[in-house]
């Protein structure tokens, strides 16, 4: 009897699995539409619940994914396999790669009207400078300087406003507490380095007619790399990668007393160094030219619709709602702790992040800093440049800290890959 | 029903049965092994060609390039360097792991040993832990700031060790593999030891052999086939090392994302989105692997399996 029951159960299970398999590919004409959404923003399912409550006919199902590069890899693979999700959270720098691989749909018809809700510099990143619209901007990541206010006071340090002052502060700190660092140069975070380069006015890709121009080792990038080579060689900043157990510990126990990061840092600090709540403060980035303050972007993401989706219209509607509807954006801020890309939503932020109760004007300052963001054009093989960064910078640091050869390697790797794929590369 | 009964008596039909029995294995082999390999070889002969800026629909097409991908893989300096690094890693790993496995197996085979069952399980247990998880655990132990070893050294006012330095990393990686692999190889060797007739030892003892001489002159020579087998498996596993360096890479400046050949394949396929050259490199690695396995078997066959022929 038991065996019979088990057999039936297995048969039923298989049957259901087959039915489910069919349901995924065919859309019932009048039943509710179901959209799959790959995202990593914390608690984004709670924001999506608000949509599902108001839209019984279009149900969005969130599937939690790993952040950044891993998701790009997964999207490329699933698209090649012919089974991508309907919607995905995509970082700005991954858009050209995904568009070039035909993973994302042009949603200008449904999302084009949303353009005036965003700053022009941000909107340009989702159009790739053309007439198509490949995603709706979700959040941006203007870079800022975070520091332990309590320890700065204890060691009598002043918040650096220029890069020269940053270097001097790093030295002063080492002189006063030889086991502490003002920051680290991370070979693991190309996005961080790209943000620093944007601030210095660098631009790694540009479009020249029908050809790409690649300048990963341009003067601005060389300036940034030279500056950090000096600090690393002098030993006044740490050279271990970020986002390791070691780094988390250093943030927690005050070994790292500063972090050049982005507007989303409070969320990371809360997760990695909860015990330091209320001890951090935020300031604008140190500047190359104090009279013309600028910043770069580290991260920032969008909601994109895939070209493999059979429900692009409904998916586009959701993507626009998620990033422009006032209740949705407010939920994104409170639930997922992102810094919204929509201009009106930035202005509506009044309460500081819970981790920064000591800085009530956090978002007022952040908005001012965000307004100084430099533009940047991303190329179609950012992943190649980023991998080259990780390999070459790691090697340069272990070999003795001159980072300039790493830039040459990044440039060569990027250009070689584009040429090998048949892109026209000029310059 | 009738046909089956008929087939029992008839002459032609029984020939169907063997095929029917073999069919499931053949079908699975074709579906899960031959077909993917065939597809990989097929892919390795193509690459994508981009038109203009490469943005927008239909700007990428697949073109046939013959053996181009193979030529590029063979002449790729990074792939060669990766292979050398793996050889260095293997030179540390394989002798250490098999040596320890052999010692443990011989010790457990001694009659005087106590807590045999417990020791066997304790040595074997790490094998049950997936490589990725083992690497995460060891990563915590290696990172200078979180390492309990370094804290201990600091207590004793000795200088700390950084196993994640460019040379230390070979030992750090080999250590993870030794930790995970000794148990498995020990069980294989131990099982082989148990199947050696006990009267051989008795005869040796009567002839005045010490336990040491029994181990060196009787047990180890009779273990040769098992040792060949375990070395072959270990060498193959070594050449395919992937999970451990991949997991440790984000923790240190010493490991590039293309540190081993398989990491390069992964990076090509999923980092650069170039499955074609990744396919070519995979085929190349497989061919090299076959060549190494067969030549090793050929060299050792006369010694190891001589008695069986």
Coil, strand or helix: which one is A361? Answer: coil
CA distances for A329 relative to A48, A311, A320, B237, angstroms: 11, 23, 11, 50
Segment B139-173, tens digit of pLDDT? 999 988 888 888 888 888 888 788 888 889 999 99
Q: Distance, in angstroms, between A244 CA and closest chain B CA?
A: 6
Rg for chain A, CA atoms, rounded? 23
Cβ contact, residue pair A244, B58, below 8 Å: no
Residue of A nearest to B274 (CA): A421
Buried b (16+ CB within 10 A) or exposed e, A186-201: bbbbbbbbbbbbbbbb
Q: To which residue do tokens 């031959």 refer?
A: B34
Pairing of strands A136-148, A258-262: antiparallel
CA distances from B132 to A387, B143, B175, B241, B242 (A): 21, 16, 14, 11, 9
Contact B140 A417 (CB under 8 A): no
Residues A239 and A414: beta-carbon distance below 8 Å: no
Question: With 60 as the cut, is the pLDDT of residue A232 above it?
Answer: yes
Per-residue pLDDT band for A276 (boundaries 50, 70, 90) equals very high
Query: How far is C-alpha B198 from the chain's CA centre?
Result: 33
Strand partners, B223: none
Predicted pLDDT at A292: 92
Tell me: the pLDDT tens digits for A337-376? 789 988 888 877 888 888 899 999 999 999 889 888 887 8
What are the tokens at A257?
């007393």
Look at A210 and B53 and tell me if their CB atoms are within 8 Å: yes
Confidence of residue A26 (pLDDT cuts 50, 70, 90): very low
Nearest to A390 among B50, B144, B257 (CB): B257
Record: contact A398-B251, CB cut-off 8 A: no
The 3-state DSSP class for residue A289 equals coil
Residue A195: per-residue pLDDT: 94
Asked whether the predicted pLDDT for residue B198 surpasses 60, the reply is: yes
CA A385 – CA A311 distance, rounded (Å): 33
Orientation of helix A326-336 relative to helix A312-324, angle to 10°: 70
Decide if pLDDT at A303 tops 50: yes
pLDDT the model gives residue A3: 42
* pLDDT given at position A401: 75
Picking from B283, B253, B254, the residue whose alpha carbon sits closest to that of residue B268 is B283
Question: What distances in angstroms separate CA A422 from CA A60, B88, B97, B280, one per listed residue?
Answer: 38, 37, 47, 19
Q: What is the pLDDT of residues B105-127, one digit of tens each?
A: 999 988 788 888 898 899 999 99
On the CB side of B251, CA atoms within 13 Å amount to 27
Residue B268 is given by DSSP the state I
CA pair distance B73, B286, nearest whole angstrom = 13
Closest residue in B to A242 (Cα–Cα): B251
Burial of A281 (0-12, 13-18, 19+ CB in 10 A): middle
Distance from CA of B43 to the nearest CA of A (A): 13
Provide the b/e sequence for A132-166 (b: ≥16 CB within 10 Å).
Answer: bbbbbbbbbbbbbbbbbbbbbeebebebbbebebb
Instruction: Write the ipTM.
Output: 0.81
Distance from CA of B293 to the nearest CA of A (A): 31
- Contact between A241 and A131 under an 8 Å Cβ cutoff? The reply is no
Q: Determine whether the interchain pair B253/A398 forms a contact, defined as Cβ–Cβ distance below 8 Å.
A: yes
Q: Structure tokens of A215?
A: 């300048």
For A37, the enclosing helix (H) or strand (E) is strand A33-39
* Identity of the residue in A76, A244, A380 whose CB atom sits nearest the CB atom of B250: A244
> What percent of chain B shows pLDDT beyond 90?
51
pTM of the model: 0.84
Choice between B173 and A70, residue whose per-residue pLDDT is larger: B173
């Amino acid at each position: 009897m038991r065996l019979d029951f088990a057999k039936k159960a297995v048969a039923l299970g298989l049957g259901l699995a087959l039915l489910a398999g069919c349901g995924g590919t065919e859309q019932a004409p009048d039943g509710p539409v179901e959209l799959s959404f790959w995202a990593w923003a914390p608690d984004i399912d709670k924001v999506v619940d608000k949509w599902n409550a108001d839209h019984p006919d279009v149900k969005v199902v969130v599937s939690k994914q790993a952040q950044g590069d891993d998701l790009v890899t997964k999207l490329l693979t699933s698209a090649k396999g012919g089974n991508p999700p309907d919607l995905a959270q995509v970082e700005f720098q991954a858009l050209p790669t995904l568009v070039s691989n035909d993973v994302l749909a042009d949603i200008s018809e449904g999302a084009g009207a949303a353009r005036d809700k965003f700053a022009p510099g941000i909107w340009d990143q989702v159009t790739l400078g053309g007439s198509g619209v490949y995603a709706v901007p979700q959040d941006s990541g203007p870079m800022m300087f975070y520091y332990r206010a309590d320890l700065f006071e204890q060691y009598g340090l002043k918040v650096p406003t220029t890069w020269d002052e940053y270097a001097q502060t790093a030295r002063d700190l080492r002189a006063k507490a030889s086991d502490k660092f003002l920051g680290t140069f991370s070979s693991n975070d190309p996005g961080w380095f790209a943000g620093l380069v944007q601030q210095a006015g660098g631009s790694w890709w540009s479009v020249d007619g029908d050809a790409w121009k690649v300048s990963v080792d341009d003067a601005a990038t060389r300036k940034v790399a030279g500056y950090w080579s000096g600090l690393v060689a002098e030993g006044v900043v740490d050279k271990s990668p970020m986002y390791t157990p070691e780094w988390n510990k250093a943030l927690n126990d005050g070994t790292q007393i500063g972090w050049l990061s982005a507007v989303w840092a409070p969320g990371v600090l809360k997760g990695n160094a909860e015990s330091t709540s209320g001890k951090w403060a935020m300031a604008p980035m140190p500047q190359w030219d104090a009279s013309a303050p600028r910043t770069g972007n580290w991260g920032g993401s969008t909601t994109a619709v895939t070209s493999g989706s059979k429900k692009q219209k409904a998916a586009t509607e959701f993507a626009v709602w998620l990033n422009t509807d006032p209740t949705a954006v407010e939920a994104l801020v409170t639930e997922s702790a992102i810094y919204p890309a929509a201009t009106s939503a930035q202005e509506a932020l009044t309460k500081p992040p819970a981790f920064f109760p000591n800085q009530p004007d956090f978002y007022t300052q952040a908005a001012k800093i965000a307004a100084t963001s430099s533009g940047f054009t991303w190329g179609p093989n950012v992943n190649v440049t980023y991998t080259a960064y990780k390999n070459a910078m790691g090697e340069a640091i272990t070999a003795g800290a001159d980072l300039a050869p790493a830039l040459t390697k990044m440039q060569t790797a990027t250009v070689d890959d584009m040429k090998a794929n048949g892109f026209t590369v000029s310059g | 029903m009738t046909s089956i009964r008929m087939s029992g008596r008839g002459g032609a039909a029984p020939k169907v049965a063997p095929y029917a029995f073999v069919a499931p294995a053949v079908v699975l082999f074709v579906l899960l092994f031959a077909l993917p390999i065939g597809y990989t070889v097929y892919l390795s002969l193509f690459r994508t060609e981009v038109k203009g800026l490469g943005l927008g629909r239909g700007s990428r097409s697949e073109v046939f390039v013959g053996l181009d991908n193979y030529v590029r893989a063979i002449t790729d300096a990074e792939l060669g360097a990766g292979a050398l690094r793996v050889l260095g890693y293997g030179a540390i790993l394989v002798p250490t792991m098999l040596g320890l496995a052999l010692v443990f197996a011989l010790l457990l085979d001694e009659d005087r040993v106590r807590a045999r069952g417990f020791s066997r399980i304790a040595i074997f247990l790490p094998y049950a832990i997936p490589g990725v998880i083992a690497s995460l655990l060891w990563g915590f132990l290696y990172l200078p700031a979180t390492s309990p070893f370094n804290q201990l050294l600091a207590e004793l006012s000795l200088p700390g060790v950084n196993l994640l330095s460019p040379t230390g990393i070979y030992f750090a990686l080999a250590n993870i593999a030794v930790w995970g692999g000794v148990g498995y190889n020990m069980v294989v060797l131990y099982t082989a030891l148990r199947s050696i007739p006990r009267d051989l030892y008795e005869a040796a003892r009567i002839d005045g052999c010490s336990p040491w001489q029994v181990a060196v002159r009787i047990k180890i020579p009779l273990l040769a086939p098992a040792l060949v087998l375990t070395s072959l498996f270990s060498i193959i596993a070594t050449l395919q090392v992937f999970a451990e360096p991949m997991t440790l890479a984000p923790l240190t400046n010493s490991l590039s994302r293309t540190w081993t050949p398989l990491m390069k394949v992964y990076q090509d396929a999923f980092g650069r989105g170039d499955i074609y050259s990744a396919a070519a490199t995979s085929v190349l690695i497989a061919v090299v692997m076959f060549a190494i396995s067969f030549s090793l078997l050929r060299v050792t066959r006369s010694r190891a399996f001589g008695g069986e022929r």
